[in-house]
Amino acid sequence: MMKWTMSGAAMIAALAISACSDQGTTQPRSAQPPVSFDRHDDASTDGVGAVFTSSNAVGGNVVFAFTRRGDGVLSKTGEFPTGGNGVGGDVDPLQSQNSVVLADDRQHLYVVNAGSNTVSTFSIAPNATLQLLGTTSSGGVRPISLAVSNHDVFVLNADNSVATLALDDAGVPVGAPVARVSLGDASDGPSTIAATRDGDFLFVTQRSANAIDVLRADARGALSLVERRPSSGGVPFGFAVTKRAQVIVSEAAGDAPNGAASSYDLARDGSLTSITSSLSTHQAASCWLVLSNNDRFAFVANAGSGSISGYAVASNGTLTALDPSGRTGITTTPDATPLDMSVTRDGKFLYALQTGTGTIGSFAIAADGRLTTLADTPGLAAAAGFQGLAAY
């Protein structure tokens, strides 16, 4: 296992996060003509899904909503204020994944307001229009990542605290946070939170501390820290959890100067055991990771290379690279800078927030996990602090 000193970890973390904003050098793949940003007149009847991202604007955070057609084409539905403020910035100011998340019923959307220390709840209409149901305290300073499980929303704050928001039957947080736990200093670099499918365990990646925290959540939403496990590689960032409770993590510097992905198995006592350690993406700034709907594939966004790396995920959690080069998917332009990603409910499409070009990148997912680059959807401001992406 690669070992890091604290000073070395801080240096690697700074370099890796800086790399996430780099414009890569890969050559663009040919794509279809650009998709129209204007809403189709028949969007409410033709739409089979939706995509959401947030502006993270200082003067008022806004969710941009798009309907999705069966062929993957996106059409803008509107812009919906969250009732809170973001923190602005340019490329990846929150340094996190899951700042915009969907409930399992796909009828509610939760969004962090990092500048207001709140979380917003929206209801979702069939045509992807949103209605703000309220804002709730995040239980800490600068919320950056969310996890939804059962009747709770768990909030990771940049002050390295985690809070539990209990949901009522309408999917809206009830009052103040019901629980809160501190995981350490903000200098540890908390990045992303996610939960097991049953909601019994939570995980938090710590970028600068090069560690993964495991928390237990009881039926009342109370939280306790089980362990802090050293990461297999440098700068653990985004991740996802399989239905078998395997944790698949992206590492911005897992194969420094390249990124990597690692997998872990969760024991009943909450301890993590390494399965695959730091399998290289051979790409730069590998900071975000999502799973296919059947858990057979993991996809890693490489912000510094304009690419997406694909891995096959075996039933025991072992990872195998789909492409020796690490470029399973290539953005339409080398400076796209893909960040947050999401896979649609039908498993056919992967979408990526591309902050370098102010677009949403679209990829068709084949049965073997291969990605075909489709046309980008324009309409976002480039390098303007946009964060989070959720799709269904």
**Tens of pLDDT along 109-164?**
999 999 999 999 999 999 999 999 999 999 999 999 999 998 999 999 999 999 99
Residue 1 in any domain: the answer is no
Residue 31 in any domain: the answer is yes
DSSP letter string, 260-289: EEEEEEE-TTS-EEEEEEEEE-SSS-EEEE
**Tens of pLDDT along 73-87?**
999 999 999 999 999
d(C-alpha 81, C-alpha 244), whole Å: 37
d(C-alpha 320, C-alpha 283), whole Å: 16
Q: What pTM was estimated for this model as a whole?
A: 0.90
The total domain count for the chain is 1
Q: How far is CA 268 from the centre of its chain?
A: 26
Contacts of residue 201, defined as CB under 8 A and 6 or more positions apart, other chains included, come to 195, 214, 215, 216, 217, 226, 245, 266, 270
Q: Which domain holds residue 123?
A: 6-391
What percent of the chain lies above the pLDDT cut of 90? 86
Residue 236 in any domain: the answer is yes
Q: What is the CATH number of the domain that holds 257?
A: 2.130.10.10
Residue 47: its pLDDT value, please?
73
**Tens of pLDDT along 276-290?**
999 999 999 999 999
pLDDT at 11 over 50: no
Residue 228 in any domain: the answer is yes
**Tens of pLDDT along 24-65?**
333 333 333 333 223 333 333 457 999 999 999 999 999 999
Residue 150: its pLDDT value, please?
85
Please answer whether residues 272 and 227 qualify as being in contact, where contact means their C-beta atoms are separated by less than 8 angstroms: yes
Please answer whether residues 289 and 281 qualify as being in contact, where contact means their C-beta atoms are separated by less than 8 angstroms: no
Residue 132 in any domain: the answer is yes
Residue 269 in any domain: the answer is yes
Residue 21: its pLDDT value, please?
43
pLDDT at 295 over 80: yes
